[in-house]
Amino acid sequence: MTATISDTLLDWYDAHARALPWRNAPGAPPPNDDAWPYRVWLSEVMLQQTTVAAVKPYFEKFTRIWPTVFDLAGASDEDVMAAWAGLGYYSRARNLVKCARVVAQMGGFPETEAELLKLPGLGAYTAAAIASIAFGQRAVVVDANVERVVSRLFNIEEPLPGSRKAIREKTDTITPEVRAGDFAQSMMDIGSQICTSKAPRCLLCPLSDVCEGRAAGEPERLPVKPAKKAKPERRGTAFWIEREERVWLVKRPGTGMLGGMRSLPDDGWSARSNGCDAAPLEGEMTSLGAVRHTFTHAHLTLELVRIDGAAVPSGEGEWWPLSEIEAAGLPTLFAKAARLALA
């Protein structure tokens, strides 16, 4: 059964693999190229909790500006964070720079899963994916797509996250010794295209005949997930301070939400609390409306207040040309606020 599943999936992948800018051709050995593990690593970091469609333009931009890990290691934090703006989950960008600098000091990426795990920002999934896809090593790669496919394939009814140990063990039993990278990517493609969260396309699945979840009926109910907790509602205020066709931007602290990003000054809101700090300057204040944004842990309604007739701001910041606001690399929340102000 083990050989049948892996062989069947690899045959399907050879015929149906998605053409993606960070992928090698099915069945081809990993390229003997220093840029190859960099591209695999970069794509895997970007794809965490983010769709392929959203990642493609960012991947192409990063590899155009920084074609190797050594180029990225030499980039400034500000430039990388600005290039990442809009992709979300900004701790990934901070870890990306840290990891690139460590890898550059090492002279390149380590090839084993155990050594990859020691790099900043690399968890079990990412280390396994790089080891198998970039270096052709056998590694057990389990992401959300694989969790879904394996839960249904073996009819694992224990709810997540408790079922993850069993899912990993079952994935290990079907992972082949050769073409482990192609196998991992075939599982991802089956999960994203066929074995979808809702309305799985079982009639098109190459594993339908051996799928225990399908045989048991209602495979779409697997994996069993705990009920989602309602996200809290938060409120905050951002301030628009404009002088001579320029707006005052600040840099957020290096840690915490949107850490290290350029932004509008605000009142100290966070995912855990509403804003409470006073306005950065005294002056005539006018509400410009509000924008709404959803983070992983909270919904935020951010009021935008224009301050006129105030003194020049003190502290760390910069006057940014309004005509070049798109180049400031504002995270999505503050980009929404800027569009509101400029409207």
Mean local confidence (pLDDT), 16-22: 94
For residue 249, the model assigns a pLDDT of 94
Mean local confidence (pLDDT), 321-340: 93
pLDDT tier, 14 (very low <50, low <70, confident <90, very high otherwise): very high
* Cα separation, 241 vs 37, whole angstroms: 44
Using the predicted structure, report yes or no on whether residue 278 has a pLDDT greater than 80.
Answer: no
pLDDT tier, 43 (very low <50, low <70, confident <90, very high otherwise): very high
For residue 22, the model assigns a pLDDT of 95
* Cα separation, 146 vs 179, whole angstroms: 16
For residue 277, the model assigns a pLDDT of 78
For residue 25, count CB atoms less than 10 angstroms from its CB and return exposed for 0-12, middle for 13-18, buried for 19 or more.
exposed
Residue with token string 């934090």: 77
What are 198-228's pLDDT values in tens digits? 999 999 999 999 999 999 999 999 999 988 8
Active site residue 44: yes
Using the predicted structure, report yes or no on whether residue 3 has a pLDDT greater than 80.
Answer: no
Q: 320 or 281: which carries more pLDDT confidence?
A: 320
Using the predicted structure, report yes or no on whether residue 157 has a pLDDT greater than 90.
Answer: yes
Mean local confidence (pLDDT), 233-255: 90
Using the predicted structure, report yes or no on whether residue 1 has a pLDDT greater than 60.
Answer: no
Mean local confidence (pLDDT), 9-24: 95
Contact call for residues 235 and 227 (beta carbons, < 8 A): no
What are 61-116's pLDDT values in tens digits? 999 999 999 999 999 998 999 899 989 888 899 999 999 999 999 999 999 999 99
For residue 314, the model assigns a pLDDT of 74
Mean pLDDT, the chain, integer? 92
For residue 90, the model assigns a pLDDT of 87
Residue from 49, 48, 63, 40 nearest 181 by CA: 40
Record the pTM: 0.84
What are 166-185's pLDDT values in tens digits? 999 999 999 999 999 999 99
Of residues 44, 113, 147, 303, which has the active-site annotation?
44
For residue 2, the model assigns a pLDDT of 54
Helices (H), ranges, the chain = 2-16, 35-47, 52-65, 69-73, 77-84, 91-106, 113-116, 124-135, 144-153, 164-174, 180-193, 212-216, 332-342
Q: Which domains does the chain have, with CATH numbers?
A: 2-221 (1.10.340.30), 233-342 (3.90.79.10)
What are 311-330's pLDDT values in tens digits? 778 778 899 999 999 989 89
Contact call for residues 58 and 22 (beta carbons, < 8 A): no
Q: Which two tokens stand for residue 246?
A: 């320029």
Lowest mean pLDDT among 123-127, 140-144, 280-284, 301-305: 280-284
Mean local confidence (pLDDT), 8-36: 92
Q: What angle do CA 160, 163, 299 make, to 5 degrees?
A: 15
For residue 273, the model assigns a pLDDT of 80
For residue 88, the model assigns a pLDDT of 87
